[in-house]
Amino acid sequence: MAAIKAGFKSFDEAAGGLEMQKIYSLIGNKESGKEEFLYKLVSSALSSKTPVVYVTTSRSYSDLINEFNSRHLPVSQYLGADFMIFDDFSKISSPNAQDTNYAKILNGPLDLTGLSVALSAADGNYLKEGRSVFNVIDSVSNLLVYSNPSTIFRFLQFICGRSKMSGATTLFSLDSEMHPPEVTETIKSMSDGVISLKLDNGARYFTFTGSTKEILKWTELN
Amino acid sequence: MGDPVFGIEKLDKDLKGIPEKKLVLFSASPSVGNEVFGYQLIYNNIKAGSKVLLLLNRTSPDAYLGDMEDYGFPVENKLTILDSYSSITGVIPTGKPHIISVDNPYNKDEVFHKLLSELDKGYDLLVVDSFSLLIDFFDFQTGLSLLEDIKKKLEEKNTSGVILFTDWNYEAKSIDSLIKAVNSTVEIKGVEKRVIFGQYFAVIKCDWTEGKTFSSVLFKAVKPGGIKIYFPKILVTGPTDSGKSSFIHSASKDAVSVDKLGGTIALDHGNLEFDGYKADLFGTPGQERFDPLLKLLGGEAIGVFLIVDSTKPEQFPRAIEMLRKTEAYGLPIVVVANKADLKGALSLKEVEEKLHLDNEIGLVQTVAEDLSKVDPNQPTKLKKEGVDKALSLLFKQLT
């Protein structure tokens, strides 16, 4: 099955990337390097012509683009046709923020219906073009700040179902330190594959469970 | 001034507005959304001079009013909003007398008390957006008990009520109790397969219309314009001279072609009625020079007939390309292998193999009714059997 390369040599050599049309969780604490991993993964997906819908709940779409740029992972050339950003953050402080041709401004983290409608429509539009999309929800932890866990679980279950139906690949990013272990475990159980990251003595390590090539031992990410 | 209205012609025609003291539930599936029903309803009632109160917990008042405006429903300061959202984010609109703030939206006593005492001031219509969020904040039982209090208040004050709700797969028992608690329920759902290729609403309950039954209707939420009911569009595409016009003319009662010397250069269209279904067929031209039109013609289609000439497998890649260009991938598709009775025609199995079709895609052979009457400059009448089989296969996928 086709896979999205993560852009990290050790990860791609050992795991072969992320098999498409599956659900993944990316889990780690603040220092674990989740963002670095995620941005490289998205950049790699785009360069291999996989369209990406990126849901940002913790920063505006323009800040997100700056994050890519500051890591020398330019994404500007993909914005629009291949790279759509669903900004679920800006309306909190700027209620009149307007959509652009590559950024859809959603109502904010409480309006899960708005998010699910927008994601279902975007995945459907890519599928109609015969393309399988990569959805990133960055991050589920932020959604959990505003709604109780059972609400978020119901929402994620729905997203998983639609993702499977439309042949999309979906990744949930989660900060393990922000939630009780049972919340993290429930989100892991909804995923086909779980990528865990950690920082140890200045080096970053990963495990990858649930994939065809599981990496159960902490392996340095480089 | 009469009773509040839905502001959606079909609902107002069927249900004759929302009588006072009645509570209506709009229950939507999470992939479809129901907010535009709320916008349209609020706008039309305010326009008719009604006093409307909105309990809002889904987004900020400014974002809500901005979205209403984008849909073409500006209400300026005429809508009173009980804002049960802003203090969560810390950005509270100030100096707007039509916006009443809830200090702590997670405190049910405050939310419920402010709502009920605001209703005491006398409104024609209450709208709650969203009731599912209220349930998620507290719990289903608490939501139902608030509903009982709301109903008492509506009764007392001769007010009508509408609650917008997303069904996030709650327990069936809870949903039953909710539907029992309201006077009318309008369900809003997607026509979903791999993609959502249509959305519809249906009145599944109404206690003031005495045993009347209602049909469901397809709709689109248009910006600006709001809820528009529309008729389904089925696309007929395929390479040049594969028989698209013949198929449309054979399947429809009143087909027309815009053509020149036999080859369709712009459009085939036909209305068909089959087995209780009504649909519009839209044909595409086959020549490559008209490819820029394909996406336009494919827009809003909910199903596709892909017509191929069984004697010309060399055109099959072009057929798949046309499917891609109409952006019809993911929609229900039936492949019609036409000219199956001509010399050199491939068998169904061979067509299937050469097109690399998914198992889910239907495949049907069609042949001319009378080969001796075939005129290359006119659509050929196809045998009813094959055409009916193709229609039946597609409608089966659509329903």
Give CA–CA dist B193/B397, Å, rounded: 9
**What is the ipTM metric for this complex?**
0.90
Q: Which of B170-184, B226-240, B330-344 has the lowest mean pLDDT?
A: B226-240
Here the CATH number for the domain that contains residue B286 is 3.40.50.300
- pLDDT > 90 fraction of chain B, expressed in percent and rounded: 63
* Phi, psi (degrees; rounded to nearest 5) at B228: -125, 125
DSSP string across B170-181: --HHHHHHHHHH
Binning pLDDT at 50, 70 and 90, where does residue B239 land?
A: very high
- Residue B224: cis peptide before it, omega within 30 degrees of 0: yes
Same domain as B246, residue B169: no
Task: State pLDDT tens for residues A132-178.
Answer: 999 999 999 999 999 999 999 999 999 999 999 999 999 999 999 99
Tell which of B183, B199, B229 closes a domain.
B229
Name residue, tokens 């296969």: B393
For residues B41 and B162, the answer to whether their CB atoms sit within 8 Å is yes
Contact of A145 with chain B, judged by CB distance below 8 Å, is answered with no
Query: For residues A8 and B397, what is the distance between their CA atoms, to the nearest angstrom?
Result: 43
Ordered mean pLDDT values, 10 residues apiece, chain A (222 residues): 92 95 96 96 97 97 97 94 96 89 95 95 90 96 94 96 93 96 96 97 96 93 94
User: Cis before residue B242, ω within 30 degrees of 0?
Assistant: no
Q: What phi-psi label fits residue B211: left (phi over 0), alpha (psi between -120 and 50 degrees) or beta?
A: left
Residue pair A106/A91 in contact by the 8 Å Cβ criterion: yes
Are B270 and B170 part of one and the same domain?
no
Per the CB < 8 Å rule, is A96 touching B324? no
CA neighbor of A101 nearest in space, from A118, A89, A83, A88: A83
Query: Are both B212 and B238 inside the same structural domain?
Result: no
* C-alpha to C-alpha distance for A24 and A159, rounded to whole angstroms: 12
d(CA B66, CA B11): 25
The one-letter amino acid at B286: G
Confirm whether B296 is domain-assigned. yes
Q: Which residue has the tokens 């140890």?
A: A200
Radius of gyration of chain A (CA): 16
- Of the three residues B176, B208, B229, the one that is the final residue of a domain is B229
Mark whether B225 and B346 lie in a shared domain.
no
pLDDT for position B359: 73
CB of B385 closer than 8 Å to CB of B359: no
Return the pLDDT at B372. 82
- If asked whether residues B80 and B210 sit together in one domain, one would say yes
Check whether B261 has a pLDDT greater than 60.
Answer: no
List the single best residue of A21, A99, A111 to mutate versus B (max B Cβ within 10 A). A111
Whether B20 has a pLDDT exceeding 70, the answer reads yes
Chain A residue whose CA is closest to B60: A95
Look at residue B287 and tell me whether its pLDDT is greater than 90: no
pLDDT for the residue numbered B80? 98
Residues B220 and B320 in one domain: no
The string of pLDDT tens digits covering residues B354-374 is 988 777 788 999 999 888 888
Between B58, B137, B168, which is nearest A155 by CB?
A: B168
Give B68-100 pLDDT, tens digit per residue: 999 999 998 999 999 999 998 887 777 788 999
Instruction: Give the HSE-up count for residue B171: Cα atoms under 13 Å, Cβ half-sphere.
Output: 9
Chain A residues in contact with B58 by the CB 8 A cut-off are 107, 110-111, 113-114
Strand B125-129 relative to strand B160-166, pairing: parallel
A102 closest CA partner among A65, A58, A157:
A65
Q: Domain check: are B237 and B386 in the same one?
A: yes
Predicted confidence (pLDDT) at residue B65 exceeds the cutoff of 70: yes
CATH architecture of A3-220: 3-Layer(aba) Sandwich (3.40)
Best to test chain A binding among B37, B60, B135 (most A CBs inside 10 Å): B60
Q: Which residue has the higher pLDDT, A187 or B279?
A: A187
Q: DSSP string spanning B209-246?
A: STT-----EEEEEETTTEEEE---EEEEE-STTSSHHH
Q: Tell me, what's the pLDDT at B1?
A: 67
Same domain, yes or no: B35 and B169: yes
pLDDT of amino acid B262: 52
Which of B174, B194, B229 terminates a domain? The answer is B229
For residues B261 and B220, give the distance between their C-alpha atoms in angstroms, rounded to a whole number: 38
The three-class DSSP label of residue A67 is helix
Beta strands A193-200 and A103-105 are unpaired
Do B139 and B216 belong together in one domain? yes
When pLDDT is cut at 50, 70 and 90, the band that residue B288 belongs to is: confident
Give per-residue pLDDT as tens, B136-166: 999 999 999 999 999 999 999 999 999 999 9
Average pLDDT over residues B21-25: 98
Helices B140-157 and B172-181, packing angle to 10 deg: 0
Distance CA B335, CA B245 (A): 15
Based on the fold, state whether residues B126 and B173 are members of the same structural domain.
Answer: yes
Same domain, B256 and B317: yes
Q: Per the CB < 8 Å rule, is B133 touching A110?
A: yes
Which amino acid is it at A91?
K
Residue B2 lies in a domain: no
Closest residue in A to B86 (Cα–Cα): A92
Residue-wise burial string across A59-94, b where 16 or more C-beta atoms lie within 10 A, e elsewhere = bbbeebbebbeeeebebeebbeebbbbbbbbbbbee
Q: How confident is the model at residue B294 (pLDDT cuts 50, 70, 90)?
A: confident
Crossing angle (nearest 10°) for helices A34-47 and A61-70: 90
Question: What is the pTM for the complete model shown?
Answer: 0.80
Band the pLDDT of B265: cuts 50, 70, 90: low
Rg (CA), chain B: 26
Query: Is B1 a member of any domain?
Result: no
What does the mean pLDDT of chain B come to? 90
Dist CA A134 CA B15 (whole Å): 43
Q: Nearest CA of chain A to the CA of B143: how many Å?
A: 15
Q: Cα distance from A153 to chain B (closest Cα, Å)?
A: 10
Do B254 and B348 belong to one domain? yes
The DSSP output letter for B382 is: B
The residue segments making up the domain with residue B160 are 9-229
When divided into structural domains, chain B yields a total of 2
